[in-house]
Chains A and B, each alone.
Chain A
Amino acid sequence: NAGVTQTPKFQVLKTGQSMTLQCAQDMNHNSMYWYRQDPGMGLRLIYYSASEGTTDKGEVPNGYNVSRLNKREFSLRLESAAPSQTSVYFCASSARSQGTGELFFGEGSRLTVL
């Protein structure tokens, strides 16, 4: 059982380039989330999707867009990458919405923007 799968695991971009992080879950969960993890700051919520067809901003949405393609997939797009977006990105899913259920995490995607 794969759980939450993120691709790619590592990526190096130049400032101004765009890219999409892909996330898929096979647990039939309704809610999906994107976080970024930076040293000393824990995990900060970028965007979340409570159900298929809906997305909402989290704490740090600027510079990102998301797409809930279907119930399984939730992608995160950087349209014009900046060095401040260097981080480790985690996708998570949950059977329950609004933070009331356990989050299941992917292994993370390490992004470096030069």
Chain B
Amino acid sequence: AQSVTQPDIHITVSEGASLELRCNYSYGATPYLFWYVQSPGQGLQLLLKYFSGDTLVQGIKGFEAEFKRSQSSFNLRKPSVHWSDAAEYFCAVGGMRFGAGTRLTVKP
């Protein structure tokens, strides 16, 4: 059965620091992988997606993610976090199944 695990419920980073949000999945084949961001009181917006090809994908707002088949992971990264990145982040597998989310707090 498909499943998505985001091990970190809440992460706090300082503004300007680097960020990595973890996502692990269970899927029968190479999945379609997505990261979405949700600002408070809003719907979800796509950050980036991976279907095939280059395992390092670039997204909006300076985010990137790397697909690692051997680790069944699709971790989201950003080199330098801005205060406006504070939000909840969701990993999705197969486009329809979502992880529980990771809430990001940014310290000034």
User: Which residues of A are at the interface with B, using a C-beta cutoff of 8 A?
Assistant: 4, 33, 35, 40-45, 48, 58-59, 90, 92, 94, 96, 98-103, 105-108
Minimum Cβ distance to chain A for residue B67 (Å): 16
Count A/B pairs, Cβ under 8 Å: 61
Minimum Cβ distance to chain A for residue B65 (Å): 14
CA gap between A43 and B41 in the complex, in Å: 14
CA gap between A41 and B98 in the complex, in Å: 9
Listed by A's residue number, 15 A-B pairs whose Cβ atoms lie within 8 Å are A40-B9, A42-B99, A43-B90, A59-B97, A90-B43, A90-B44, A92-B43, A98-B95, A99-B92, A100-B51, A102-B46, A102-B49, A102-B95, A105-B44, A108-B42
19 extra interface residue pairs, beta carbon distance < 8 Å, beyond A45-B96, A99-B94, A107-B42: A35-B98, A40-B9, A42-B4, A42-B90, A44-B98, A48-B96, A58-B96, A90-B43, A92-B43, A98-B94, A98-B96, A99-B92, A99-B95, A100-B51, A102-B34, A102-B95, A103-B46, A106-B43, A108-B43
Q: Inside 8 A of A94's CB, which chain B residues have their CB? A: 95
Q: Inside 8 A of A4's CB, which chain B residues have their CB? A: 43
User: Which residues of B are at the interface with A, using a C-beta cutoff of 8 A?
Assistant: 4, 6, 9, 32, 34, 36, 41-46, 49, 51, 90, 92, 94-101
